Amino acid sequence: MTRQAWTVAAVLALTGGQAGAQGVIKIGEINSYKAMPAFLEPYKKGMELAVEQINAGGGIAGKKLELVTRDDNGNPGDAVRAAEELYAREKIDVLTGSFLSHVGLALTDYAQQKKRFFLASETLTDKVVWAQGNRYTYRLRGSTYMQVAMLVPEAAKLKKKRWAIVYPNYEYGQSAVATFKKLLKEAQPDVEFVAEQAPALGKIDAGSVVQALADAKPDAIFNVLFSADLGKFVREGNTRGLFKDREVVGLLTGEPEYLEPLKKEAPLGWIVTGYPWYAIKTPEHQAFIKAYQDKYKEHPRLGTIVGYGAIKSLEAGLRKTGGSADTEKLIAAFKGLQVDIPFGRITYRPEDNQSTMGAYVGKTAYDERLQHGVMVDFHYADGKDYQPSNEAVRQLRPAGR
C-alpha cells in the first residue's frame, strides 16, 4: 500500500467515513428530552418503531437507517452545538427534531446558515415556515395557526362575548393568542377579551392565575397551557370553581400526554385538539397501534405519531432521491411530497414547506373504564383545510425563502 493510500485508509478508519458509504443513512435528531419527557419519550419510541419497520423491509436503496439523538436541554445554543457535533463527529446525513418553539427557530436558522436540510418535527411556531422560514426547513406537525384555526369555528358557535385567555409566555403561546384573537374577531366581531394571564413556561402560580381570571368574570376561556402547567391550572381551577358554568376552549388539552395524568380531575366538556387513540378505527391507525402495542406494551401518545411521522417523511423523501441525502435533492423531493402516516396521507405543500398533518377536535370527558380523561364527539380536522391561502403565505414568508 502506498503512503497516500494508507493515509486515506487510516482517516476513514478513524472517522468512520461517510455514513452513506457504509450502507447506512444516519438520521440526527435533537430534542428537549429532559425538559418535556411526557411528549418526547413516546415520540422517540415512535421514531424507533418506524426505523425498525423500514430496516426490516430492506431499508432505503439498500441502506439501513440509523437514528442518533441528542438532548438540547431546552436551550437554543445547546441545540445548535448538538447539530454541529452530530455532523462533525457522528457524520449524520440528515437532521430532524425540535419541540420548543425557540429551539426550533434556532435550528431553522442553523439550517439556513449551513445550507443543510432540516425537518422540524414537532415545534409549532408559525415563524418556522413563515417569518423565519427558509428553503432548507420543512415542518411536519400542523402549525399553531392551523390548530387554532381548527378551534375557532367551535369557539364562535358558543356565541360568548367576554373571553379570558391564559397562555405560556413564549413564542408558541404568544402566537396562539394572536391568531385566536384575530380569527375569532373575524368570525364574531362583537367579542371582547377581558383578561390575559401569561405565566412563564413551567413556572405558573396557578392560584393567582385562576383568581385573576375569575375576577374578570369572563363568559369563556381560551387555554393554551400544556404539560405540568396545565395540570396545576386545572386542579386549581376545579378547586376554585373557575370552570363552573363557563365554556373553555383548550389548545393541545386533548393530547393524552397532558390529559391522562389528570385522571379523575380531567376537565369536562372543554373543546380541545388532541389524539383519541382509543377510538380511531381507520385501517392505517389500527395497523399502527397494533405494531406499537406489540413492541412497547403500552398505548401511543400524540408524540408517538409525530416521531413516527417524522421518520416516515424522511423515508418518503429519501426514496424519492434514490437514497441520496444531498441537500438540494431532498429539498426538491419534499416539494409536494406525499406521506402516509397513521392519521392518513399528508402533503408537504410547496408554498411554505408545511405539511397538511391535521388534528382531532372534540370535547373532554372522563372514562370510567380507562380511568382518565378522553375525547368524545370528535372529528379529524384535515390540516389542508386550515392553512392560509397561497397569497397570504407569500406576504408572510420572506421573498426567495
Q: Domain check: are 61 and 191 in the same one?
A: no
Query: Residues 320, 328: contact at Cβ < 8 Å?
Result: no
Range of the domain at 243: 145-278+359-386
Does any domain span residue 339? yes
Does any domain span residue 394? no
Q: Domain check: are 128 and 226 in the same one?
A: no
Block means of pLDDT (10 residues each) for the chain, 401 residues, are 42 41 89 96 98 98 97 98 98 98 97 98 96 97 97 98 97 96 98 98 97 98 97 97 97 97 96 98 97 98 98 98 98 98 97 97 96 97 95 84 68
Output the pLDDT for position 9: 40
Query: Residues 67, 90: contact at Cβ < 8 Å?
Result: no
Written as nine digits, the cell of 189 is 366581531
Q: Domain check: are 235 and 342 in the same one?
A: no
Q: Domain check: are 378 and 250 in the same one?
A: yes
| Beta bridge pairs of residue 222 | 165, 249
Does any domain span residue 399? no
Does any domain span residue 169? yes
Output the pLDDT for position 398: 81
Output the pLDDT for position 71: 98
Output the pLDDT for position 239: 96
Q: Domain check: are 216 and 287 in the same one?
A: no
3-state secondary structure 12-36: HHHHCCCHHHHCEEEEEEEECCCCC
For the beta carbon of residue 275, count every other beta carbon within 10 angstroms.
25
Output the pLDDT for position 400: 62
Q: Domain check: are 160 and 244 in the same one?
A: yes
Q: Domain check: are 269 and 335 in the same one?
A: no
Query: Residues 250, 176: contact at Cβ < 8 Å?
Result: no
Is the Cα torsion angle 81, 82, 86, 90 positive or negative in sign?
positive
Does any domain span residue 325? yes
Q: How many helices (H) and strands (E) does the chain have?
A: 13, 14
Q: Domain check: are 23 and 156 in the same one?
A: no
| This prediction's pTM | 0.93
Does any domain span residue 397? no
Q: Domain check: are 163 and 77 in the same one?
A: no
Q: Domain check: are 184 and 256 in the same one?
A: yes
For 185, residues 6+ apart whose C-beta sits below 8 A from its C-beta are 191
Distance separating alpha carbons of residues 68 and 88, to the nearest angstrom:
13
Q: Domain check: are 139 and 265 in the same one?
A: no
Q: How many domains does the chain have?
A: 2
Query: Residues 79, 98: contact at Cβ < 8 Å?
Result: yes
Does any domain span residue 393? no
**CATH no. for residue 216?**
3.40.50.2300
Residue type at 390 in one-letter notation: N
Does any domain span residue 32? yes
